[in-house]
Amino acid sequence: MLYIQDETIFEQSYQIFLQTLSKIKSRNLEFKKDEKDNINSFLYTIQQSIGAGLDLMVDPNSARKHVGNRFEELIRVVFTDIGISNKRIVLRIPYNTDEGEKIYKCENDLVLSPFEKVASTPEQLNEKEIVVSVKTTSKDRMGKMFIDKILLEKFVKHPQKVVGIFNNDVQRKKNNDISFTLVSGLFMVYTKFLTEVEGVYYLDPPPTAQKEPYNRYMKPFSELITSDVFKLFAS
């Protein structure tokens, strides 16, 4: 089970998680499967617990936004702790209208950098850096990630690496049941006919993500921070 319910097991998971982050920070990138699985399980447990707490204590209309903001903060802290510079960047894209020049603000949840400090600015993105969309679910948001990549590359006039990070693609149904919300066919249509993003990563990947051809593009979050992010920086 991905969610850790036992307090003692959670504490053990926390200690393993800290050790794993320390290894990544020192760029000792040899990991056992258990270490990788623990990354996803520990972070998933934190995020789901935050979500459950906010569901109980916060107005339902604002709870979803709070949950999303906490997920962004959680992911950002992870990258900071493994020594990867990161920053939220709002790219300012000018365009002309009958009333003169106006600015479209393209919000990028996170920009990851191989440099000591993030080089991207509100006026320009650095080609070596990675733009990250961080959302609790891809439902109603997957398409925006592809459109943003096309828009960003048109504006900055160079290839731009873009990845998505999601908690899960699950929604509750009646009778204590769940359903999966990943629109897998639409993802492949976007990939084939619009553009390819550099990867999609889940704490709790939906079953479809583990099948061909989706597993070429969708992976557990642990694969990003233990391997793929460094490959993307080098590419």
Give, in order, the Cα–Cα distances in Å from 187 to each of 41, 108, 110, 181, 213: 25, 20, 22, 12, 11
Which tokens is 67 given?
Answer: 């949950």
Residue-wise pLDDT for 8-36, tens only, equals: 999 999 999 999 999 999 999 999 999 99
The total number of structural domains that make up the chain: 1
The confidence band for 61, taking pLDDT boundaries of 50, 70 and 90, is confident
Dihedral, CA atoms, 204, 162, 217, 171, nearest 10 degrees? Answer: 30
Work out the number of other CB atoms within 10 angstroms of the CB of residue 127: 13
Kindly report the length of the chain: 235
Cα–Cα distance for residue pair 83/63, rounded to 1 Å: 31
Q: Whole domain around residue 98: which residue ranges?
A: 7-234
pLDDT, residue 196, reads: 96
Q: Over 70: is that where the pLDDT of 44 sits?
A: yes
Cα–Cα distance for residue pair 201/71, rounded to 1 Å: 14
For residue 166, give the CATH number of its domain: 3.40.91
Q: Do the domain assignments include residue 140?
A: yes
50-56 mean pLDDT: 87
Q: Do the domain assignments include residue 2?
A: no
Q: Do the domain assignments include residue 1?
A: no
Q: Over 70: is that where the pLDDT of 170 sits?
A: no
Q: Do the domain assignments include residue 73?
A: yes
Query: 52 — alpha (psi -120 to 50), left (phi > 0) or beta?
Result: alpha
pTM (two decimals): 0.92
179-187 mean pLDDT: 69
The confidence band for 222, taking pLDDT boundaries of 50, 70 and 90, is very high
Q: Do the domain assignments include residue 216?
A: yes
Q: Please give the backbone phi and psi of residue 133, each rounded to the nearest 5 degrees, phi first.
A: -95, 120
147-163 mean pLDDT: 96
pLDDT, residue 176, reads: 64
Q: Do the domain assignments include residue 157?
A: yes
